[in-house]
Amino acid sequence: QVQLVQSGAEVKKPGASVKVSCKTSGYTFTTYSLHWVRQAPGQGLEWIGMISPSGGSTNYAQRFQGRVTMTRDTSTSTVNMELSSLRSNDTAVYYCARVSDHDDGDYGYWGQGTLVTVSS
């Protein structure tokens, strides 16, 4: 079955960077795009961007342009999301999500989430 397993919680200081990984299994890694979504405490879902594992092309939300980098490692079926210049309002749970098998742009599969805390 499809599984997305994310790396563990992180605590970072303002100005630092954080890298969250998402290891996939149960399907052909290069077939479906992978997305990153975050959720600040008590807030809604916010799309960060996406990566196409086949060629590595990326598409980032405007507000994260210049601060986010998404990469993939086809040898380990893993995608990574690095966010730099962290500030306190980047504190959130970060999810990776895969589009559904029918690929209508909906997310049928989600990682368990990674809590990133930014605090001095």
Chain positions contacting other proteins, by CB under 8 A: 35, 37, 44-47, 50, 59, 61-62, 95, 100, 102, 104-108, 110-113
61 vs 36, 70, 74, 85, CA distance in Å? 10, 12, 24, 16
Smallest distance, other proteins to C-beta of residue 111, A: 7
d(CA 100, CA 113): 18
> Would you say 15 or 103 has its CB closer to other proteins?
103
Smallest distance, other proteins to C-beta of residue 106, A: 4
> Would you say 27 or 107 has its CB closer to other proteins?
107
Query: Under a CB-based contact definition with an 8 Å cutoff, are residues 115 and 100 in contact?
Result: no
* One-letter identity of residue 41: P
> Would you say 54 or 58 has its CB closer to other proteins?
58
